[in-house]
Every structure is written in C-alpha cells, then in structure tokens.
Amino acid sequence: MRVPLVAGNWKMNKTVGEALAFVSGLNPLLSDETRKRGWPEILICPPFTAVPAVSAALANTEVKVGAQNLSWEKKGAYTGEVSGLMLKDCGCEYVIVGHSERRHILGETDEVIGKKVRAALDCGLKPILCVGETLEEREAGQTLELCRRQTEQGLSAVKPEEIASVVVAYEPVWAIGTGKEAKPDDAEEVIDSIRDTMGKMFGDAAADVRVLYGGSVKSGNIRGFMVKETIDGALIGGASLDPEEFLRIVSEVLKTRVAPKDFGQGE
Ligand code: 13P
C-alpha cells in the first residue's frame, strides 16, 4: 500500500529558534491528523543545523524528520560534508537527494546523485530522489526522456528488494518557487512515465514506490494533484514554512485520500 506522504523542504531557511517556533505552532494543530496514525505520513526536512532540535521536539508525534542532502561517503576527510550515518544519528528517517537546486546551482551530476541514493540506503535512510525538467527542456519536448534518464541514473545502484524504501519526487524546475504549479494532467503524465521506467528496472516491486509532485504546491492547489491516483503526495517548499498552511495541505490530502478502514490497526 502506498501511504500518502506530505513532505516539507525548508531549504536554507530557519535558525534553530525559528525551527522550534514552527514546531510549537504545529504541535497543537496536530491532534486531528495524528489520530490517523500515520496517514498521511508527514515529514519535515529542516536545514542540517536544526535537524537535532526539530527531531527532539517532534519525538512524541507522528511527524518524521529528514535532511536535504548527504555525502556519498560514510565518514572521512570530506570537509564540510555530512554523512547519512550522522543524519540517522540525529533522528532522520528520510533524506532528499538530487534536488534541482543542488543539480543546477551546485552542479550535482546524475552520477553523484546515484551514489548518494546508494549511501542513503546503506545508512538506513529513505532517499527522496528528485527529478524534473527545466523550462527549456519542456519546451523542447524532452521532459519524459529527461525524467527517464534522471530516474534510471538516480536509481541505478538500488536493488529490487530496496526500491519500496525509495520515494521519487517529480519537481519541474520551472514550477519551483515560481507560484506556477504544473497542470495536474501534465504531472500525471510524467509520473506515469517515471513509474513505467521503474517498472522496467525493478519489475512488480516498482508498484510500491511513492511518487510525489513538487513545485508551488499550496493548500489551494494540492487537491488537483491528489485526485490523481498516481500521485502519492507532495514535496513542498515555501508553503511548508508556515505550520498552519502546512497542516492545511495535510488536511486537504486527508480529504482527498481517505485511509483504509483497517489502516494502522495491530500496531
Ligand atoms: P516550492 O513549493 O517553494 O515551489 O518548492 C518546491 C520544492 O523545491 C520542494 O523541494
């Protein structure tokens, strides 16, 4: 079963104090959502510096914590890098890999991203592999081909028995931070194609992989994506910085995707 995932990517925002203020704002709003026992899964990815504090502050809730990047190595002489083992140690369950800002601003290649996905799994973290085309690539009709390549290379070192722990986020670069979200029909087409690519790589196991949409998601437009059966949730930037708006998105997801009656029983 693919449990919907609502993930906030704070990017380079919030000091530790600001991050804790977010959690203080979120906690009283959470009760209704947490009654659902993890449906949808809620995840926050603060900057590294705030991960331990946010993780400790959310320890008694259903909200999970992730990081935004990791090294492809576990330890050693890599000044300024942070390893998956360190993230796991600080309470992370997930890590975003290959976000378009790291690809395009910081020059990460598909090869590096594939190594990071591998490192995340080796450290017991669930990688969220980001793929997506630029505006030029979309206008040149290269979207499906580009996302196929990014998916294949990003997941090239993953074994079929591991693939269910991986999440893919389709984030068209032109939709990120612009207020111009993709049309749900277009996102559906790309995500179906990503699923097809994973099916060829991993067989039936690919059916369990969650694929999210990201790019200018807010409470006012999330429903359009969630009514598409192929879209399993969202990776949210700007709208995840405010606890009330973030929880409004979670509520919209709950309205669109109702938990199966027996979900969470027997835990
Ligand atoms: P926005 O929601 O701010 O467009 O950012 C999306 C994103 O990049 C999430 O990873």
Q: Which 3 state secondary structure label does DSSP give 103?
A: helix
Identified catalytic residue from 33, 41, 99, 188: 99
pLDDT at 188 over 60: yes
Q: Which of 11-25, 28-42, 53-67, 224-238 comes out lowest in average pLDDT?
A: 28-42
Would residue 171 show up in a list of annotated catalytic residues for this protein?
A: yes
Atom of ligand 1 nearest to the CA of 96: 10
CA distance 185 to 182: 8
Going from the Cα of 212 to the center of ligand 1, the distance in angstroms, rounded, reads 12
DSSP letters, 10-27, are: --S---HHHHHHHHHHHG
Tell me the best of 5, 6, 11 to mutate to test the pocket of ligand 1, counting ligand atoms within 8 Å of each CB and taking the most.
11
- Ligand 1 pocket list (CB less than 6 A): 9, 99, 171, 176-177, 214-217, 235-239
Helix, strand or coil for residue 42? strand
- Whether 8 has a pLDDT exceeding 60, the answer reads yes
Q: Is residue 208 part of a domain?
A: yes
CATH number at residue 218: 3.20.20.70
What local confidence, expressed as pLDDT, does residue 264 receive?
74
Does residue 174 belong to any structural domain of this protein?
A: yes
Q: Out of 41, 108, 171, 181, which one is annotated catalytic? A: 171
What does the pLDDT read at residue 60?
84
pLDDT of 267 over the 60 cut = no
Q: Which segments of 128-238 does DSSP mark as H helices, in order?
A: 135-139, 143-154, 184-202, 222-226
List the domain range (segments joined by +) for residue 230: 5-256
Whether 263 maps to a domain, the answer reads no
| pLDDT tens digits for range 148-169 | 999 999 999 999 999 999 999 9
pLDDT of 263 reads 83
Structural tokens at position 197: 């690519």
Residue 112 inside a domain? The answer is yes
For the cut 90, the answer to whether the pLDDT of residue 35 exceeds it is no
Give the distance (Å) from ligand 1 centre to CA of residue 214.
6
Question: 265 lies in a domain?
Answer: no
pLDDT band at 259 (very low <50, low <70, confident <90, very high): confident
Share of the chain above pLDDT 70, in %: 97
Residue 99: active-site member: yes
Judge whether 266 lies within some domain.
Answer: no
Count of the separate structural domains present in the chain: 1
Q: Is 245 part of a structural domain of the chain? A: yes
Confidence at 36, pLDDT banded by 50, 70, 90? low
> Which residue's alpha carbon is at the smallest distance from atom 7 of ligand 1?
237
Cβ neighbours of residue 42 closer than 8 Å, sequence gap 6 or more: 6, 7, 33, 62, 63, 64, 250
| Residue 64 phi, psi dihedral angles, 5° rounding | -100, 160
Query: How many helices (H) and strands (E) are present in the chain, helices listed first?
Result: 11, 8
Chain mean pLDDT for the chain = 95
- Cα–ligand 1 centroid distance for 225 (angstroms): 15
* Mean pLDDT of the region 135-140: 98
Residue 53 banded pLDDT, cuts 50, 70, 90 = very high
